[in-house]
Structure 1
């Protein structure tokens, strides 16, 4: 286990589509893991006077589609550098009329509709992670408090991608009461929990999904352009959270494995 120090990045930010840099003057750290290489070298530096790590989820040039990201290597690499708290902004579509492009939402529930992703480090033996509440309440509260316009309490459904949803699929998701649709939020969240890290996401609404508005539906160009318009605001919010975040919090994200013999050794 990594020994904490004043230079250890206990907090990490994972950048989503169009969010490839966060730390100025950072040093890049190449990290190898038992699961292969992460999406990119991890940038380590300071934000708001605190050491943090940054990893672009899709790679530095968006070379990894949602279904090809090595999520296990990404989360393992962050943990091995000392990270214990992960802030994970992502682009999402809005499924209901009360969610509009430009909104920032901190979801409290996740629904997995992916199909072919390695979503656990438990390759043998038995270790059943509790996941009823997939996001860390302390990190979620910090994200919500950083901007008065942030909304909370939504359910995000994660689909396999890389295609966008059909209109019928979007209408089905909305009919379940789900508010947001995304392609990368799973298995990131459960892997963080297995590694005993706190994890929360900031959903940046880039579009109304195909079932909400009539017309041609969502396009990649629209999503990337909308996310780009939110980058500065997102970075300011994350900087505020990093500045005010408690350095360590005692919560179930880490304590769930106490008394359990994990079938893998934590980095």
Structure 2
């Protein structure tokens, strides 16, 4: 539904932006087009993530959700660059704007983008991919509001430079909202521990497990935007059974949202494990 509504909005804003000679409305159309592409990518990634592991892809296509989040951020930055450049050119030579037409179309944009943002609001805290879609839609609603305000002021004051200036303000807003998404998606693409993961607490939890005298080679990384994996070597002189391993994995999932745990038990503290030093990966 979100993709269909925003596709219609892109066409309407592009047509009436051209007819009304408004760079702000055309900029909004370009921004909405990047959002449609972003939603398509996010939707495709969510479908791909459900594919079963096979062949070389031992985790399936779950990582595609991370790539989709990164693509969403890149789409936003590219659209922002195009909007900013056009606004600078128009600022040098302001042209008349059909204020009423621009206000009506942008007003419709507020309703559509606001409604679509609400569709993604609930799941945005648990999935960076959904967060990216939510930020797209919320930013679009704010952009459309800015277009409405600038068109009203142009009608009232006749200041034609307000149209390109509004576009530049929109660009600054988009850049600010995209920073967190871009940083988060790049971190996840580089296998950084997901945001909110307390590595110190995880180390302490593992060290306090019965029979564990030391740990090393601890790694925590995302295998999708909603799934986290962990591997670690546990030094346990008395060894460990399946019950210990299963209980540890269950507690890691319950307390730290780590659903894919792999633990290696070593009974000899001085066994010469090549991965024991902290500076070895």
Shorter-normalised TM range? under 0.3
- Structure whose residues are more often strand by fraction: 1
Question: Who wins on radius of gyration, i.e. which is larger?
Answer: 2
